[in-house]
Amino acid sequence: MANQSPILGVEIAGWGAALPAESLTNDELIAKTGIDSSDKWVQERTGIKSRHFISGEENILTLAIAAGDEALRMSGMGAPYNVDRTILATTTSLFKVPGTHQDILEGLPIVGGYSRPEASSKEVQTACTGFVTALLEGYRGFPVDGDEMDLIIGADTLSTIVDPEDRGTVILFADGAGAATLRRNNRRRDAGLLGWYEETDGSARPDLYCELGDAKYVQMDGREVFKRATRIMVKAGKIALERARVSIDEIDLVIPHQANIRIIDFAAERLGVKPDRVVTTIDHHGNTSSGSIPLALAETVNAGRINRGDKILLVGFGAGMTAAAAVIKW
């Protein structure tokens, strides 16, 4: 078993969320796309009642900036901002080169570092696992690089890469962004990252992928994804808990990737966590990939369900197949 050292004295100081203006119910989506389906069929198989799609001038950049700005302001900062490191997790970057992360710095704007003169940014692409991947990368910057303030964003616009005539995917995938700030707080030595787990299984790539090109759409073997996703969620969660030296009974809330309510329910049962301690927002968000977990996190905190000292398990999985889990103390 890996011998991990907790990264403490780092708190989540702010959080933010951004959703496109257009929200489509199942019936509205069916009418818009012409797919052969029904509200009952979609809800029974996915748990989704509605989702958001970008329109007009909205895109991943506008969503990421809005979520990031809210998280920074929640942290007590005002624009222009000073942030050591900004990490964007996305599957639907606006540009192949150099990505979208640098445009977020320009758009907010972030004018320099918080603990040092320079600000830096990067982009990670681990599909729906993205936000947890980026969050772990952010935490590591504190003991290694001396970070004092980081901004982590998960944002995706999956409606841009989904075939509107493919019933198996268009009902699932949606658009949205969420963000969180990490801040060093020496007065809260117990807050931070307690344990984590990351894995990639390249053999599962054919089960969920999207090729490059404007006419290329997400391809998914739903049955195989379900089988693999439930296994890897349970495995990732259990190992992260073991490395954190925390039992599932000590976890106050589990915030999983919002992929499908059946996957969430199955994995929660195998993890041994009661339903009332599992956060679900898929009914009104759909599957927003990298935006999934931070959107759920922001909504949960704003609802007063997370308090100082709570232990939270974040667990995600995505195309690749990638998986990551993090046990954090709020």
**Which positions ≥6 away from 318 have C-beta within 8 Å?**
91, 126, 127, 128, 129, 130, 208, 257, 289
pLDDT single digits (tens) 179-226 = 999 999 999 999 999 999 999 998 878 878 778 877 789 888 878 888
**Average of pLDDT values for 57-63?**
98
Element (H, E) at 87: strand 85-89
Has residue 328 got a pLDDT over 80?
A: yes
Note whether 7-184 and 192-329 share their fold: yes
| Global confidence as pTM | 0.96
Residues belonging to the active site = 128, 257, 287
The CATH number for 7-184, chosen from 3.40.47.10, 3.40.50.300, 2.30.40.10, 3.40.640.10, is: 3.40.47.10
**Which positions ≥6 away from 203 have C-beta within 8 Å?**
none
What's 262's DSSP letter? H
Has residue 229 got a pLDDT over 90?
A: no
% of the chain residues with pLDDT over 70: 99
Taking alpha carbons only, the member of 85, 10, 87, 3 closest to residue 329 is 10
CA distance 158 to 163: 10
Question: What is residue 20's predicted lDDT score, i.e. its pLDDT?
Answer: 98
**Average of pLDDT values for 14-29?**
98
Element (H, E) at 106: helix 101-107
**Which positions ≥6 away from 227 have C-beta within 8 Å?**
none
Has residue 290 got a pLDDT over 90?
A: yes
Has residue 43 got a pLDDT over 70?
A: yes
Has residue 128 got a pLDDT over 80?
A: yes
**Average of pLDDT values for 282-293?**
98
CA distance 91 to 210: 10
Question: What is residue 12's predicted lDDT score, i.e. its pLDDT?
Answer: 98
Question: What is residue 216's predicted lDDT score, i.e. its pLDDT?
Answer: 87
Pick the residue with more confidence: 9 or 206? 9
Question: What is residue 75's predicted lDDT score, i.e. its pLDDT?
Answer: 98
Label residue 1 by pLDDT band (50, 70, 90). Answer: low
For the chain, domain boundaries: 7-184, 192-329
Question: What is residue 320's predicted lDDT score, i.e. its pLDDT?
Answer: 84
Taking alpha carbons only, the member of 312, 21, 8 closest to residue 142 is 8
Taking alpha carbons only, the member of 116, 114, 155 closest to residue 134 is 155
In a 3-state reduction of DSSP, which class is residue 9?
coil
Distance of CA 226 to the CA centre of its chain: 19
pLDDT single digits (tens) 148-180 = 999 999 999 999 999 999 999 999 999 999 999
**Average of pLDDT values for 258-275?**
94
**Average of pLDDT values for 293-319?**
97
Question: What is residue 218's predicted lDDT score, i.e. its pLDDT?
Answer: 86
Q: Domain 192-329 is of which CATH architecture? A: 3-Layer(aba) Sandwich (3.40)
CA distance 21 to 176: 10
Question: What is residue 183's predicted lDDT score, i.e. its pLDDT?
Answer: 98
Has residue 2 got a pLDDT over 70?
A: no
In a 3-state reduction of DSSP, which class is residue 14?
strand
Average pLDDT, the chain: 95
Q: How many residues does the chain have?
A: 330
Taking alpha carbons only, the member of 279, 257, 263, 271 closest to residue 131 is 257
